[in-house]
Amino acid sequence: MSVFQKAQRRKAKLKLALCGPSGSGKTYSALKIAKGMGGKIAFIDTENGSGQLYAHVADYDVAEIGPPFAVEKYISAIKAAEEAGYNILIIDSLSHAWAKQGGILDEVDKRGGRNAFTSGWREATPMHDRFVDAILQSPLHIIVTMRAKTAYELEKDDKGKTVPVKKGMEPVQRAGLEYEFTVVLDMDNARHTATSGKDRTGMFDGKCFVPDETTGTTLMQWLETGIEAQPQYYQPQYQQQFYQQPAAAPCYSAPAEPVQAAPVYGFPAHETEIVYYMTTVWGNLANFDIAGYIQRRPDFSGRLPAQLTVEECYALKNEFAAYAAQKNGGNNA
């Protein structure tokens, strides 16, 4: 079977973002669009109960989230909506999970210490990623609202003077999040109209309109176009490789610690060398009374080998080593 298959349009789940300043009509528009799409609507309200002010617009169920606005609360509410059999979920607003108490920026500050990048974002980024994945991978149609502020860039005017130039709306969320959605609509505060900041459907490009139920109906028609199929993700088939096992390296055991034999004659030190050199000089010592020889030596004053000092043993060893060398013609080997 080929890795690549003929492309076919599949039905999709909507991921829509409405961005705009306070009072631009994000919540109202989200409800109108959801009503036009049809189906059971769930509503996550982080705006202190303001979501219920629009109960006359559509039939929906509300779950309120208060501070701290931890992403785990949002994720849990998303899963609850899935399990309860809702078709559409509105999250109003996504910005609280970013910039409010308990949101991602707050978590970064808590962990920041001296270095917010390594200490804070190292833990906060996976939190944010889990939140985004919960939205994108959900089997529900999801509409989110995000607060926005006017974005400016400094540019040169025709006189060469640097001036701020308005570049649209910037959502109060992590930079680049808007690219994850199917459609992003920027809401105008004065006229409550929408323009598309991003549109994969191609239906809103270049248009300025007031979002309503027709918008939802149109989106639903586009989403339902195609076959009913789940993505078939490519899974590479790794061929098992057989390699000749390299020859095992020789295993050498560590050399054993030298074992000191128990003294036969009782010398406290250098007995092995003393006996060796005596044997070299006198031959077989089987019938030689070494203890008597030591006792008879005037320099040892009648003491036995075990009564000698280490220094005396060392001197005795060197003495017989010299005798042995002489006997071997100067070679003590």
Q: pLDDT at position 332, please?
A: 53
Q: What is the mean pLDDT of residues 1-24?
A: 90
116 pLDDT higher than 90: no
d(CA 97, CA 105): 9
Residue 102, helix vs strand vs coil: coil
* Locus of tokens 């309120």: 64
Q: pLDDT at position 257, please?
A: 40
Higher-confidence residue of 43 and 294: namely 43
The residue extents of the domains of the chain are 15-223, 271-327
Burial of 127 (0-12, 13-18, 19+ CB in 10 A): middle
CATH node for 15-223 = 3.40.50
Distances, alpha carbon 207 to alpha carbons 168, 199, 201, 202, in Å: 15, 11, 13, 10
Q: What is the pLDDT of residues 122-135, one digit of tens each?
A: 889 999 999 999 99
Q: What is the pLDDT of residues 55-66, one digit of tens each?
A: 999 999 999 999
Question: Euclidean distance between the first and final Cα of the chain, in Å?
Answer: 80
Higher-confidence residue of 325 and 48: namely 48
Burial of 73 (0-12, 13-18, 19+ CB in 10 A): buried
Average pLDDT of the chain? Answer: 85
d(CA 69, CA 60): 22
202: how many CB neighbours lie within 10 A of its CB? 8
Q: What is the pLDDT of residues 87-97, one digit of tens each?
A: 999 999 999 99
